Structure 1
Amino acid sequence: MPALLISPHLDDAVFSCGEWLQSHPGTRVLTVFAGLPPDPGQRTDWDAQCGFSSAGEAVRARREEDRAALALLGCEPCWLSFGDSQYGATPTVDAVARALEAELERHAAQDPLLFPMGLFHSDHRLVHEACMAAWRRRPRPALMYEDALYRGIPGLLQERLAELLRQGCTLTPDKEMTPRAEALKARAVQCYASQLRAFGPGGHDDTARPERRWRFDARPDAASAPQQEDDR
């Protein structure tokens, strides 16, 4: 069945759902923060750690990394033009929600939607909130996935589950048995060489741990929590 998976950055989908993607070829992976910033010549600390001389070089190279990784998994990349928070031009939740709603219109109502729980990073929280807004307007079967790397922060996942429950979202672990594909996912993860360079030794170990997704039921008026301001 065709699916739409929403990724905050150009690596999050594979880091968090690489094995699921491998078992669902043809999934459309839409990355929200994949656009060039207003000043493509700027150089942030993160891009410097990744080995780039400018934001423009970083975005173009990261798109090629994403294309290569998703090709290994048999999935289709799609990139929105929003710039991530490190470039100082964070969009509103409503602007992202409208863009996501336009993408949902391309899919049948029974096509599933996967999106991040919104752990820790402000960009991830914004994408989660925008996905919830778009989903309320275009409801369909949906799953939240645990944001790789951040889900390993002690206590964070439990706090997020409790927060979502208070907002009216009841989450249940997804029971779909996805075949393990550790070797293929590891190859796909390695495609994001620039990001792995900045994470350093052991910094992406969480990508090798079992993936987890959550089915949810939500009140139509379920509200999202305010954004948290954290850096990548």
Structure 2
Amino acid sequence: MKRTQHGFSLIELIVTVGVIAILAIVATPAAMRGMESARRSACVSNLRLLHGGIMTYAADNGGTLPMAYENATQRGWDYFLGAGEYLSVTKVGGKNLSKAFGCPSQRKAVNNPAATTYGMNGTLSGGSTAAKLAGIAQPAGTMLMADGTMNSDQKTYNVAFWQSVNKPQAAHGGYANILYVDGHVAQARPADIILSSWPTGSPQWVFWTGRTN
């Protein structure tokens, strides 16, 4: 006996399309959260790689950290880590860059997969003298690097933080990833980071200066 095949009815098609639309609405936020979670984890890995590179640099330079920023008379941390090949680097536009130099979330924000987005604590290792590891009293409480602050052009990021000017950016759902001198990474809300006027020896004083007095 020959069977007659029927296609979907209009109602069945409408129901099917509706179910697909609902699933898409439900799945999209979850997928976005999953992607951001992956970028946040990659950011943590990058910061740990940078810590390893900086500690190796310090070991090669009498326990001295690289400078936080570059000016007319000195090079910054990104130059030393790239030029010294303390990290795996790629030549981009005549400059040695590392995948570890940028937070995936921040690179996405400026649509630049090669952007250097992390900032180093300039209050700790800035000015005219680089910091020595031996002079940092509480490595576990002192910021070394973090998610950088965007410059005024909204296209690039500062490579250094200053306690009187700027602080880490909330690149991950209202939080910034902070790398401490001892190598651990933790999240903090920028609103909880005080820029100045902290009492000597307070946690914020230690966070920026590495000193207890």
Normalized against structure 2, the TM-score is what? 0.26
Bigger Rg, structure 1 or 2: 2
TM-score (norm 1): 0.25
